[in-house]
Structure 1
């Protein structure tokens, strides 16, 4: 739908400048009339000199009509000059004033066409245009980062989904070449690959609906206890001590998603731990108006550059890769981060001083 075309901002500013300049000229001329010309008589009055009875007959005597005849054309010429000066000067000043806006518009047009790498980087004084430019650059930074993250996620998801499908096709090709041979191992492997593909698909669906949730009052301490109870057999199997401490910590959110978040954190802490005799501590509390959930475990020392990437989708550190049934699909902490964002919370990952990982989640407390 075509929008009606109107005067540009530059034209409006030019007309405004010229109009104000003309108004100032008219006011100046009106002042001359009010305080000068109105006191000039219509006719010449001959006044004799003091002490003399003779009336002077010669000299130049100002008359209002004659002054007006001489003044009016020149005043009109001055007003025309002011009008021309206002239009030309206003056009130049408006162009200079709107130049930063032109740069911002050009950057917005490029962003609309898909180019998010361009930045305005306006210099000069911190006026309104500079503030708008800096805000726009910050928005482009966030958009570029978000788009890059989504592209990496799509590429990694495609790769991860392709892997089990390719394995399944290879196994089926082997079975088709030898249909008479009973292959219980093949069936078991197909079952394992299919379960992995289902887990990955469910994780992707959960990430896609992270922002669509019904909010209710949830106690993080109860969520932590339920997650720990569910994963206690896994902890006992690995000879991991699982301990839940703390006090009630209430927040508003989805009980289902918060339980999934806590389950992922506890399972991650159990799986990526010492081979035996490790510990996992889950702690909840209310702190300065926020509800806190902290999961801490023992384990190998983590490289400092690895920790910030652990919440990225499909990112697995070399020391954290598992080859057993709980290897996962690399989305555990990514799902946690998605759920935390959907609940307006914060996620902090810190390497333990002696090894392991400390994960702290903070949510707004209930009002």
Structure 2
């Protein structure tokens, strides 16, 4: 049976039971009080049999009316009550057919159906945004992967058409292109892994990761004339040591590479509050506008002055950092510095310091 039919029968059954109880109460009252008064008037007055013959047909008609009224009224009432649910069902079917732009937008008082409708619309908003983001990501990834393959194909064609060409230069260029393709593939796999949250959580101290990343990129910073400073307190959290190290590494690398041509600076700090701990990476660099800031965490996006260099990466550094932070139920906030550069803050849930004591990050 449909829900509407079940509700109709439920309403009708409740009304029938209530009507039967009411008629039974009336009948009992008549039997208890009315006959005594009638009999006290003397012989020839109506007795209980006459009262029964007068009451029962009217009670039967009353029950018949109650049954009909209960069924018809219950059917109409259940239809009115289920109208919002039918609207939600129709929208769900349209969405299932691929129309993600559909919304319920249920009006009226904020009851259970309205809350369900609003929750469903919110889910559709996020789903549509996620699908669009995935489409853009797939298109950008295809373009980025096609570039090294096209370069490789061109170099091979040139070498085949020019046998006298020296092979050393060709091999060097092919090696560089192949390295970039491998780096891009590994970055895509890392981003996918972070999105799936396929990792085991362990105690990690962000301050130790910051020191490790700074030590790794110190030679690169010195070669580019960038001063790298690390400071901060212990910042214990739970997560994947490898992914969180990748998070810190990406942020520090991004700060070093996208900096001033001369006398650039990078500041890395950690701090811990009662419930949250944070990693802050700040650097000098070109001025970043608000419109550019919103796109920097998208895959393959680069702002003004953030061009590809010998250490420029594959355009996935901040996108991976954001994915890793969100996979650890944290937030990644970007803010422009006055005078140029960025301030990037990763906030994660804090754990007790004792839990991370003696933890080693490989």
Band of TM-score, shorter chain: over 0.9
Q: How many angstroms does 1:8 deviate by? A: 1.4
Q: Do 2:287 and 2:341's aligned partners in 1 also have CA atoms closer than 8 Å?
A: yes
Q: How many angstroms does 1:37 deviate by? A: 3.2
Match of 1:303 among 289, 293, 299: 289
Q: Do 2:333 and 2:346's aligned partners in 1 also have CA atoms closer than 8 Å?
A: yes
Gaps of 5+ in 1: 1-6, 49-56
Counterpart Cα distance in 2 of 1:277 and 1:35: 102
* Offset from partner CA, 1:308-349 (integer Å, 9 cap, x none): 111101111132113x21122110001101111121111001
Match of 1:188 among 162, 172, 181: 172
Match of 1:173 among 140, 149, 157: 157
Distance 1:72 1:270, change over 3 A: same
Distance 1:47 1:274, change over 3 A: closer
More relative contact order, 1 or 2 (CA 8 Å, 6+ apart): 2
1:351 correspondence with 2:345: no
Distance 1:46 1:175, change over 3 A: closer
Write the mapping of 1:77-96 to structure 2, written as runs, cut at 5 A. Answer: 77-96=61-80
Q: How many angstroms does 1:42 deviate by? A: 8.8
Counterpart Cα distance in 1 of 2:18 and 2:164: 103
Counterpart Cα distance in 2 of 1:47 and 1:353: 106
Q: Do 2:227 and 2:263's aligned partners in 1 also have CA atoms closer than 8 Å?
A: yes
Who is 1:269 aligned against? 255
Counterpart Cα distance in 1 of 2:78 and 2:60: 26
Q: How many angstroms does 1:216 deviate by? A: 1.2
Who is 1:329 aligned against? 314
Richer in helix (by share) = 2
Local SS of the residue matching 2:291: coil
* Offset from partner CA, 1:276-305 (integer Å, 9 cap, x none): 101000001112321110000001111111
Distance 1:217 1:152, change over 3 A: same
Q: Do 1:41 and 1:63's aligned partners in 2 also have CA atoms closer than 8 Å?
A: yes
Gaps of 5+ in 2: 353-362
Greater Rg by CA: 1
Distance 1:36 1:296, change over 3 A: same
Who is 1:242 aligned against? 228
Q: Do 2:39 and 2:47's aligned partners in 1 also have CA atoms closer than 8 Å?
A: no
Local SS of the residue matching 1:305: helix
Who is 1:36 aligned against? 30
Counterpart Cα distance in 2 of 1:45 and 1:206: 97
Number of residue pairs matched?
A: 350
Q: TM-score normalized by structure 2?
A: 0.93
